Amino acid sequence: MAELAVIASKYGEIWDAGSIGKIEAGKYKATIQLLGILSMSLSELNQRNIRISELLQSNRAVSINKLVVALPGELLDFLADRSKFVGHTVVAPSTEFERAVEVEFRDHPEPIELEPASRVYQALTHGDRRIARELSMSSEAFAVWCSLVWERPFTVERDERAGPDASAQKRGRISRELKQELLKYMERYGHGDGQ
């Protein structure tokens, strides 16, 4: 990853391991500029031509926005001018939270129970949202994972484990342990590396 960041810097991009991790996880917007720099940088790194079409290949649906997805192959066919873009509307759930969960967890092997996850989402604090950002995930996804693992927000679980008179150091240690616990749980479902 460090090599890719160095190469990309020659083309004017400032990437770190976190930036590259977000790109790998599909959390960056795939702009023409990003795809061009990524293609050039990966081509140099791998010493072979990496086409933009390779970067866009996916065996999963690609989110165009919160309500429209492109099925595997559709986006490439459209960009290669082999077909018009049709897109497929995701069934529109009733709330913004439900829409986000529908998109982010469409490939999850088990159905997500929205009611408990929604309660956790509504109870997220600023601290929970900061931790979600540190883990490079949306607040909605973070709430679902917290619901699945502890049935309550991260900070509530942390404070419960640390105790009422815990020092900042102890709360920090507990937070690091909880992050590892959460990431291990996510990996079991194929959502490793914080996604």
DSSP 75-124: HHHHHTTSS----EEPP--SSHHHHHHHHHTTT-SS---HHHHHHHHHH-
One domain, residues 115 and 139: yes
One domain, residues 103 and 181: yes
One domain, residues 181 and 105: yes
One domain, residues 136 and 176: yes
- Count of the separate structural domains present in the chain: 3
Q: Taking the model in full, what pTM does it have?
A: 0.51
One domain, residues 101 and 153: yes
DSSP one-letter code for 139: H
pLDDT at 162: 94
One domain, residues 176 and 129: yes
pLDDT at 195: 43
One domain, residues 109 and 45: no
- Tell me the pLDDT of the chain averaged across its residues: 84
Whole-angstrom distance, CA of residue 97 vs CA of residue 143: 10
- What is the domain range of residue 80? 57-90
In percent, the amount of the chain with pLDDT more than 70 equals 86
In a domain, 193, yes or no: no
72-104 pLDDT, tens digit per residue, is 677 777 777 777 666 655 544 457 788 888 888
In a domain, 46, yes or no: yes
One domain, residues 154 and 80: no
In a domain, 23, yes or no: yes
64-79: average pLDDT: 72
In a domain, 1, yes or no: yes
133-155 pLDDT, tens digit per residue, is 999 999 999 999 999 999 999 99
One domain, residues 173 and 100: yes
φ/ψ of 50, rounded to 5, equals -105, 110
